[in-house]
Structure 1
Amino acid sequence: MNRRKLILGSIASGVFIGSGAAWLGIEQSQEPLDIDFALSNLSKLMKQNLTTTGEWSLYQVFTHCAQSVEYSMLGYPEHKSDIFKNTVGKAAFSLFSSKRKMTHALDEAIPGAPNFSNEENIADAFERFKKSLIDFKMHEGVLAPHFAYGQLTKQQYEMAHVMHFNNHLQEIEVTNVLS
């Protein structure tokens, strides 16, 4: 066995063992994983007074979610290695897809994405995210490879975007309904 195969085999084994343990800890979601469902949730949120329990402000969360959707159509600024995408990335996406739920560091920026501006206009961030979802739904062109998961179909990307949004919703709380 050559050294490259040994290393790749070790990485893949670790990924599948780690994924198996992670898989047991993620409860399966039954929510729809489509853009219309995400848009519906976003519309409901836009009518409420929100706060975040995480490290990021609401502006940062919704800007980050918009960036992710936009980059799926335009191309991500930086990528993990092909080895990562073909092992860890594929295993992670497979795990998330099977559970219909994603978990990731909620204060980790997309690699190479520009820093968030000092502008904290939450309404603008909401609108940007909403527009990105609508643009994605209408998009008929080629989609860019994901920076960690590699090439995804439109349906897989749709699931990924909604799971990503749902994961960030775990740190968003409604304080009261706006009138």
Structure 2
Amino acid sequence: MQRRTVLKGAALGGVAVLGVGFWALPSGVAPAAVSLQGAQQVLAGLVDKPLTSLKGWSPAQVFNHCAQSIEYSISGYPALKPGWFRSSVGPLAFSVFAARGAMRHPLDEAIPGAATLSEPSSQTLALKRLQQAFSDFVAYQGELQPHFAYGVLNHADYAQAHVLHLYNHLTLLKLA
């Protein structure tokens, strides 16, 4: 009987946290449509623009980080969160982000096991890497790899995750 009470309490607590999290997410206007084409347009508009970061990573590091995430969705993430996380908490978090049309996560947290964000080091080349990653993702027809936190996503869900991820990081970049 106590086990059932604990499970009910945990479920209700989880729903409450997700509900609060849903409303705590930003609801401002995205820089473009939440689509692969929208993201590609935003990136095209950043070409040859001097950018600076409000805090944390440099623009080049932000672009490299976002490119890594897209590349790993095709090739496989270097490290995954535990299976229980990828089948419970991770998908719940993604469903909140997807429903809200916005993502909020630590903007200085590297992908587990990922290479450093120093290559390429120039903003111009890092932006080209990110644009290429988006192009590769659009063209990719194979099976996508499980997300390190969200678990198995289909192409449309991964596309939304990549775009929301980019838009969240762009909130800390501005024209220099």
TM-score past 0.5 threshold = yes
User: Hey, what does 1:173 align to over in structure 2?
Assistant: 174
Residue 119 of structure 2 contacts residue 126 of structure 2 at CA under 8 Å; is this kept in 1?
no
Output one character per residue of 1:53-88: Cα deviation in whole Å (capped at 9) or x when no partner.
121111110000000000000100111111111221
Structure 2 residue ranges without an equivalent (≥5) = none
CA shift, 1:10, in A, is: 6.0
Q: Is the 8 A contact 2:78 2:112 kept in 1?
A: yes
Please list, as runs of the form range in 1=range in 2, the aligned pairs for 1:73-152 lying within 5 A after superposition: 73-117=74-118, 120-152=121-153
Give me the whole-angstrom Cα distance separating, in 2, the residues matched to 1:153 and 1:119.
29
Matches of 1:167 and 1:121, distance apart in 2:
21
The structure-2 alpha-carbon separation of the partners of 1:116 and 1:26, relative to structure 1 and needing over 3 Å to count, comes to closer
Letter in 2 for 1:74: S
| Farther off after superposition, 29-38 or 46-55 | 29-38
> C-alpha separation between the residues in 2 aligned to 1:83 and 1:6?
21
State how many pairs are aligned.
174
The residue type equivalent to 2:25 in the other structure is I
Q: CA offset at residue 146 of structure 1?
A: 0.5
Secondary structure in structure 2 of the residue aligned to 1:48: coil
Over the matched positions of the two proteins, sequence identity in percent amounts to 39
Distance 1:37 1:6 in 2: 46
Residue 78 of structure 2 contacts residue 113 of structure 2 at CA under 8 Å; is this kept in 1? yes
Distance change in 2, residues 1:41/1:92 (3 Å): same
In 1, Cα distance between the equivalents of 2:144 and 2:95? 19
* Contact map agreement 2:70 2:137 (CA 8 A) in 1: yes
Q: Structure 1: how far apart are the matches of 2:95 and 2:5?
A: 23
Tell me whether 48-57 or 124-133 shows the greater mean CA deviation.
Answer: 48-57
Match of 1:50 in 2: 51
TM-score, normalised on structure 2?
Answer: 0.90
Q: Distance in 1 between matches of 2:129 and 2:2?
A: 49
User: Does 2:8 align with 1:25?
Assistant: no
TM-score normalised per structure 1: 0.88
How many angstroms does 1:116 deviate by?
2.5
8 Å CA contact 2:64–2:119 kept in 1: the answer is: no
Structure 1 residue runs without a partner (length 5+): none
Counterpart of 1:164 in structure 2 is: 165
Contact 1:16–1:91, Cα closer than 8 Å, also in 2: no
* Corresponding position: 1:60 with 2:64: no
CA contact (8 A) 1:146 1:152 kept: yes
CA distance in 2, matches of 1:6, 1:129: 48
How far 1:27 moved relative to its partner?
3.9
